[in-house]
Amino acid sequence: MIIRLASNYTLSEDSAIATLLNKNGIGFSEVVTQYGHYLVAPLKGDMDIRLIGHLTEVDDVYRVSDAYKLVSRKWKLKNTSIDLGDNIVIGDGSLSIMAGPCSIESEAQIESTVKHLLDRGISIMRGGVYKPRSSPYSFRGLGMEGLKLFYKHCQDNGIKVITEVMMVEQIEEMHDYVDIFQVGARNSQNFNLLDALGKIDKAVMIKRGISGTIEELLQSAEYVFSNGNEKILLCERGIRSYEKAYRNTMDVNAIAVLKDRSHLPVIADPSHGVGVRKYVDKIAMASVMAGADGVILEVHEVPQKAFSDGAQTLSYGQASVLYEKLRQLDQLKSQFATL
Ligand code: PEP
Ligand code: MN
């Protein structure tokens, strides 16, 4: 169950709510976020929750039986939207498009990407500076030097930055140069990293693990929320299956399911989701129709020369056509809305 307390309330051992829960043998965790003050406790079938609900310090009480609680739709029907500032909001009903290279490679590449995004009215740029690579001999990113350049050019042009953080130790130095921290598929269940990202006031996009279930992704999000940060995006980026005709199997089902089970915004990553350039546009469109709040795409001036993930990266020309198709679909989608 989730008990939402009055937000300025200070909980103490002899608070009426603590006394009541203790008397009924219910252990609880206190969660204080940017927006709310909650107690999360196991449901006890024989307890009358009206006894909790009528206490003056309690705003509301909800029965949530899922393994994940604060990220569940069961207590919060309204979609969560994430305000990045400068009128850039994710999850408010409009389609968010994030685009950029897999890896930040040079200042010239940043400038060229920023220009492409500005031309196309896109206000969030992706790009990795710390790259998780399957081979230790592959390019592993430009690190902080690259991030500072990335952020500077974006900030000068009103563009927000999303980039991957791989270790707890990187959060502090990256903090001022990032608008959305990305947790990569390989770190989806790095609980120490999730705990630490829960303690800052920046948006966090968590990618689904390569072999992760939907419930595991939601529990990863619960780590961030329960540490105090409600600014969470969920990302479907394809899972490993037996199929070898493409890199990953984009689980479009998961988009619909995540939208149903959670109030958090869902971002689709069709670039990694299918992993083959010529299919990315179709899978991106399918993701929008499945209910994604946004799409993150890998684009590069010359995809064949990209330092990483070139085979799934769109050229500026290909990406530009896709952005327009996605925007049109998003308009059309409202006619078919089921949620
Ligand atoms: C990426 O976004 O470039 C990336 C490495 O993604 P993932 O963690 O989904 O593989
Ligand atoms: Mn990539």
* pLDDT, tens digit (0-9, with 9 covering 90-100), for 158-215: 999 999 999 999 999 999 999 999 999 999 999 999 999 999 999 999 999 999 999 9
Query: Do the domain assignments include residue 181?
Result: yes
Number of domains in the chain: 2
Q: For every one of its 339 residues, what pLDDT tens digit does the chain have, with 9 covering 90 and above?
A: 999 999 889 999 999 999 999 999 999 999 999 999 999 998 877 788 899 999 999 999 999 999 999 999 999 999 999 999 999 999 999 999 999 999 999 999 999 999 999 999 999 999 999 999 999 999 999 999 999 999 999 999 999 999 999 999 999 999 999 999 999 999 999 999 999 999 999 999 999 999 999 999 999 999 999 999 999 999 999 999 999 999 999 999 999 999 999 999 999 999 999 999 999 999 999 999 999 999 999 999 999 999 999 999 999 999 999 999 999 999 998 788 664
- 183 found inside a domain: yes
Establish if 68 belongs to a structural domain: no
Place of tokens 């920023």: 114
Residue 73: inside a domain: no
Residue 165 CA to ligand 2 center (angstroms) comes to 14
Residue 71 lies in a domain: no
Residue found under tokens 């990553």? 269
Compute how many other C-beta atoms are within 10 angstroms of the C-beta atom of residue 111.
13
Residue 258 lies in a domain: yes
Domain containing residue 280: CATH number: 3.20.20.70
Within a domain: 76: no
Q: Which residue, by CA, sits nearest to atom 9 of ligand 1?
A: 185
Average pLDDT of the chain, as a whole number = 96
From CA 279, how far away is CA 168, in angstroms rounded? 35
Taking only the tens place, the pLDDT of each residue in 229-248 is 999 999 999 999 999 999 99
CA of 306 to the centre of ligand 2 (A): 10
Do 193 and 127 reside in the same domain of the chain?
yes
Q: DSSP 3-state assignment of 16?
A: helix
Q: Is residue 310 part of a domain?
A: yes
Ligand that lies nearest to the alpha carbon of residue 271, given by its number in the listed order: 2
The backbone torsions φ and ψ at residue 30, rounded to the nearest 5 degrees and listed phi first, read: -95, 130
> Which ligand approaches the C-alpha of residue 308 most closely?
2
Looking at the structure, tell me whether residues 16 and 87 fall in a common domain. no
Gap from CA of 54 to ligand 1 centroid (Å): 47
Whole-prediction pTM? 0.97
125 with 262, same domain: the answer is: yes
Residue whose C-alpha is closest to residue 162's, from 214, 115, 97, 93: 97
Which residue range forms the structural domain that includes residue 190?
Answer: 82-337
